[in-house]
């Protein structure tokens, strides 16, 4: 198994991996508005996974849905390396990875460029002083709104009761469209949405093995 440094170096050479960091803010991102044309070379819908970690969820979705394009996003290239190398080995052409901070996400995608967003087991930032860091805080929702299509959807999976309740409260306060939610996804998963529990991230598998309930929220603007 490569070391962390070796993964970092190899990440830079993988054709399905891209990077946008603070120093790029001044010049902009050449892929903004051009993901379909330049990277995927098709007109299929684009789906993002924010904080993708090792990319298990993005890769799993990409294998199941060849009719969609997936982009896993994380700041840690040594994490992304796992999913990126698996996708390359499987010759999956409908998935890419982007190394960036979620704070910069609206610099990476153009208006109406994204159809769907997954937020899978993010850091719940339980301290009240870090509420602005939660990925369903209005600060982040306003960023997503800049590039998500008007009928696009955002889906949150979490083990955190506090983040789940915070998200529901935020949606009410912001008057956003709550499509569906549950505090026990594995118990209440609709029969026509089995894909919600068929693919598990590393953390989801860990949490469910402990008997913890998985919360789910689907909403839009």
For 177, what's the count of Cα atoms within 13 Å in the CB-facing half-sphere? 9
Residue 25 belongs to some domain of the structure: no
Rounded to the nearest 5°, which phi and psi values hold at 64?
A: -85, -30
Q: Is the pLDDT of residue 26 over 90?
A: no
Is residue 22 included in any domain, yes or no?
A: no
Predicted pLDDT of residue 38: 97
CA angle 43, 153, 91 (to 5 degrees): 45
Mean pLDDT across the stretch 38-67?
96
198, 201, 205, 206 alpha-carbon torsion, rounded to 10°: -170
Given a cut of 90, whether residue 183 has pLDDT beyond it is yes
How many distinct structural domains can be found in the chain?
1
Q: Does the active-site annotation cover 123?
A: yes
Within-domain flag for 18: no
In a domain, 204, yes or no: yes
Domain containing residue 129: CATH number: 3.40.50.150
Answer whether residue 91 shows pLDDT above 80: yes
Work out the pLDDT band at 203, boundaries 50, 70, 90.
Answer: confident
User: What local confidence, expressed as pLDDT, does residue 8 receive?
Assistant: 62
Per residue in 119-165, pLDDT (tens digit) is: 999 999 999 899 999 999 999 999 999 999 999 999 999 999 999 99
- Residue 116 counted as domain residue: yes
Percent of the chain with pLDDT over 90: 80
Does the structure show a pLDDT above 70 at 19? yes
Which helix (H) or strand (E) segment holds residue 81: the answer is: helix 77-89
Structural domain of residue 137, as residue ranges?
A: 43-220
Distance CA 71, CA 58 (A): 7
Q: Check 24, 89, 106, 123 and give the catalytic one.
A: 123
In a domain, 51, yes or no: yes
Instruction: With respect to residue 114, please indicate whether it lies within any of the assigned structural domains.
Output: yes
Q: What is the pTM of this model?
A: 0.95
Residue 12 lies in a domain: no
């Amino acid at each position: 198994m490569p070391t962390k440094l070796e993964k970092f170096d190899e990440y830079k050479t993988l054709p399905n991996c891209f990077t946008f960091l603070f120093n790029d803010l001044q010049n902009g991102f050449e892929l903004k508005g051009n993901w379909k044309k330049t990277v995927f070379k098709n007109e299929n819908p684009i789906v993002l996974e924010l904080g993708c970690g090792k990319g298990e969820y993005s890769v799993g979705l990409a294998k199941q849905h060849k009719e969609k394009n997936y982009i896993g996003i994380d700041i840690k290239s040594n994490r992304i390396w796992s999913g990126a190398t698996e996708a390359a080995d499987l010759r999956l052409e409908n998935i890419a990875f982007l190394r960036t901070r979620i704070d910069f996400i609206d610099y990476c995608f153009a208006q109406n460029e994204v159809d769907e967003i997954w937020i899978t087991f993010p850091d719940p930032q339980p301290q009240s002083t870090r509420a602005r860091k939660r990925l369903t805080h209005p600060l982040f929702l306003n960023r997503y709104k800049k590039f998500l299509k008007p009928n696009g959807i955002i889906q949150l999976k979490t083990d955190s009761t506090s983040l789940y309740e915070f998200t529901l409260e935020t949606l009410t306060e912001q008057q956003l469209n709550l499509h569906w939610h549950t505090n026990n996804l594995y118990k209440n998963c609709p029969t026509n949405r089995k894909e919600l529990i068929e693919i598990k991230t590393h953390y989801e598998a860990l949490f469910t093995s402990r008997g913890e309930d998985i919360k789910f929220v689907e909403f839009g603007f």
